Structure 1
Amino acid sequence: MAGHSKWANIKHKKAATDAKRGKVWTRLIKEITVAARMGGGDADTNPRLRLAMDKASDANMPKDNVVRATQRGAGNLDGASYEEVRYEGYGIDGAAIIVDCMTDNRIRTVAEVRHAFSKFGGNMGTEGSVAFMFKHCGQLLYAPGTDEDKLMEAALEAGAEDIISDEEGGLEVLTAPLDFSVVKTALEAAGFKAEMAEIIMKPATETVFEGENAIKMQKLLDALENLDDVQEIFSNAIIDA
């Protein structure tokens, strides 16, 4: 179960990006709305909605906003109708990139994503062109100093698929997507609070970027992140700052 993880670097960059964009609540409202539309407005029976609500709580979103987004998704309030769309492409040196969006206008969104790719040295691919390089899974990250033996015991008992330790002592728990909420709840009950907990597309292999290529790759990722319709970006690129 040994391995290498850039979880601390990812956590830092994600927090910086969210703060810079200033659109955390907007993204969460879209996620709550779509989750409620797809799985109903009851968080107890809708794991995706529960996860979105947990994120909203962590982001200090007012409960009224959460309630309105849930009701809108469940069809009880009027509002924009968002749909999920995924784009795939290549960055610097062929690095794989997945761009998950929520949009009420596909034509606008694809034009903006394509423009960002082309302007910053990447190019869009066809559906499935890079997705095979990633695994859809739940990921929970724990800071160095966490008791590995106790976490491993609790995680495996809760149904986790794997526990990976990195060279800094950080721990990564991986789950099947449908088991994510159960494992997260069980680990919290056991006293383990994750630094980050999300359902992600995890790359099978990673490519480290340094120097000029690292700068170029970061500019491309930032350009994509800054698009209003973008919810999440996954890449096998690791930027060595």
Structure 2
Amino acid sequence: MDRARAGLSGLGQPGGPAQADGGKRRGMTGFKAILFDCDGVLLDSEPLGCASIAQAMTAVGVAMTTDEAAALFCGHSAAASLAVIARAGLDPHAVADHADRILFSMFEQEVPLMAGVERVLWGFDVPMAVCSNSLVRRLDRSIARTPLARRFGGHIYSAEQVPAAKPAPDLAFFAAARLGVSPAQAVFVDDNPHGLRCGIGAGCLAIGFVGPTEQRADHARSLAQAGADHVVHGMDELHALLSRLSLPDAA
């Protein structure tokens, strides 16, 4: 399977140049909604997702570590991930189904919440939505089974529900419309550069999130280069930033 493994080289990287104004901070006089990515922001589940795809790839002869799976698949849409697998000469649906079975078995044991997430979700009296590239079936087996689900009141949205997944802005436009706000009045929180571009493209104030289990040393810089207005490390920093942004004279 060396040829298949070689076919993975260079795949899975976000497309397009970094925004020239990466790290630029825009002011916001309050906000009327918050849009969250799911895996890696609300749930500390990306390590599990990467482990499951690594195991599934290894099972069909393409030895892969969790870190390698993260570099190739982390945060990408299901369609993009299937394309990566297909380019390796594998049956993408068979591999993805195997990875899902592994992941859902892990979720039966525990759906890991991001540390401090409850304080953020219940700390601000504005409508909130989940904007995820994950398939509906994965959201149903993950966040929908946690106590966090009730905070969103049914506003848990998958890229399956819009014409184009992140980094296209469709999902942010869709969620904001469902919440009854303009995207310009919304904060968009994501832990991946191409995910942030979804919120940026819709006109949201974009916050790059670096979780406590993030292993990539340059990840905060990547988020800033993608155009994040702010980059935070963990939920305590996110809560503090949102508290400041919610003030009438926030800048």
The bucket for the TM-score relative to the shorter chain is under 0.3
Please, what TM-score do these two structures have when normalized by structure 2? 0.26
Give the structure with the larger strand fraction: 1
Please, what TM-score do these two structures have when normalized by structure 1? 0.26
| Larger RCO, structures 1/2 (Cα 8 Å, 6+ apart) | 2
